[in-house]
A and B are shown apart, each in its own frame.
Chain A
Amino acid sequence: MSPEVLVFDILAVLAVISGIGVVVARNPVHSAVALVVTFVNLAGIFVMLRAEFLGVVQIIVYTGAILVLVLFVIMLVDPDDLPEFHAGRPLQRVFGLLIGLMLLGEVAAAVLTRTAVGQTGPWTADEVERAGGNVQVLGQFLYSGYVLPIQAIAVVLLVGTIGALVLARPDEAPSRQRQKVTSTISLGHPRGADGQFLEPLPLPSGATASTRVIKREDMRGGIVVTKDADAYTRQPAWQVEYGPESTRTPRQSDGSGTSGTGAAPREG
């Protein structure tokens, strides 16, 4: 058992176990973490196979970018676990396992009895060393024979970026008709410096203490302030009145919300 086989065995077993963890985990975040572990092990295997550049590119691109994006989407989108095949349907799980093992057996049979075909290339370890290393050789190889696929990949990535921007754009705000909007702010019952209750300020003209919706003929800048205690206690903190053209109904909340500064809710 050469040390290479030992290292490969450890990395491979860990990768497969984490791969199974990806599929089996209930929580998608656990799946993503298991996938990170798989990718790191695979990067180790790549380095062992004299593909160092590919190994670090795998970590930078796959774990460092794609899986981070997946984690972002999981956290922004997925509220909780779904009752999936973990909750019930054990027959499906067993069948899945059996079919998977059968397929694995078939592929193993094919692999173990294969004969290598194809020409061997020139890049043995010494050749690569002499040419300066994996990166140099890969660079020469890529940019002498594969320039067109590189340009194509650039276009693909550009299309992907633009597509992502388009897909993730927030929904456009529905166009609203122009409407008159009134906001009223109710401040609390006025208190003096020592906390004593003061005389309520007079209501602006046109407003009555018991009205829930305060009309305004004398609005200053669109805000009417009422400082009457009675008007306050039944008054919602924010109240928006829409103009007659709109189809929305004015929202009215209960008067028990807090409002303004110095609010002293009077009712329980």
Chain B
Amino acid sequence: MQELSATHFLLLSAALFITGMMGVLTRRNVLVIFMSVELMINAVNVAFVGFAWEQNSMVGQTFALFIIAVAAAESILGLGIIMALSRRMDTVDVADVTQLRD
């Protein structure tokens, strides 16, 4: 691996994605889950931009830009939900939010 190639970026993207996934599956604090989701989204962005670089194309960068915009909108709503949730239930532990289950 002497020259920079897309393999590097894909490995980085995979590592970040798996880390984020572990965070989502393991943590109970809803804000940390949210941040792990953002980490996963960024891992995907890295993959897109890596491919765009490898293939000299702009499509990857465009896609990554749209992903950033959509992630911004999703984060606004997610945080609004988290705030409303915490106000109602006074907790940010997802293990306590069991209304639909019970």
Contacts and interface: CB of A to CB of B under 8 A. Distances in A.
Interface of A: 1-2, 4-5, 8, 12, 15-16, 19-20, 22-23, 25, 28, 31-32, 35, 38-39, 42, 45-46, 49-51, 53-54, 57-58, 61-62, 65-66, 69-70, 73-74, 76-78, 82, 84-85, 92-93, 96, 99-100, 103-104, 107-108, 111-112, 114, 116, 118-124, 127, 137-138, 141-142, 146, 149, 153, 156-157, 159-161, 163-164, 166-168, 171
A26 B39 CA distance: 17
Contacts of B52: 49, 51
A49 B64 CA distance: 13
Interface residues of B, number: 70
A62 B23 contact: no
Given A66-B71, A85-B28, A116-B54, 8 more contacts: A5-B3, A22-B20, A23-B20, A35-B38, A38-B39, A53-B65, A108-B11, A124-B56
Interface of B: 1-4, 6-12, 14-16, 18-23, 25-29, 31-32, 34-36, 38-39, 42, 45-46, 49-50, 52-59, 61-62, 64-66, 68-77, 79-84, 86-87, 92-93
Contacts of B15: 16, 19, 104
Contacts of A39: 42
Contact of B35 (A4, A22, A93): A22
Contacts of B46: 42, 45-46
A146 B62 contact: yes
B42 A62 contact: yes
Interface of B is mostly: helix
A149 B66 CA distance: 8
B31 A78 contact: yes
6 contacts: A12-B12, A23-B19, A45-B12, A66-B38, A141-B62, A167-B77
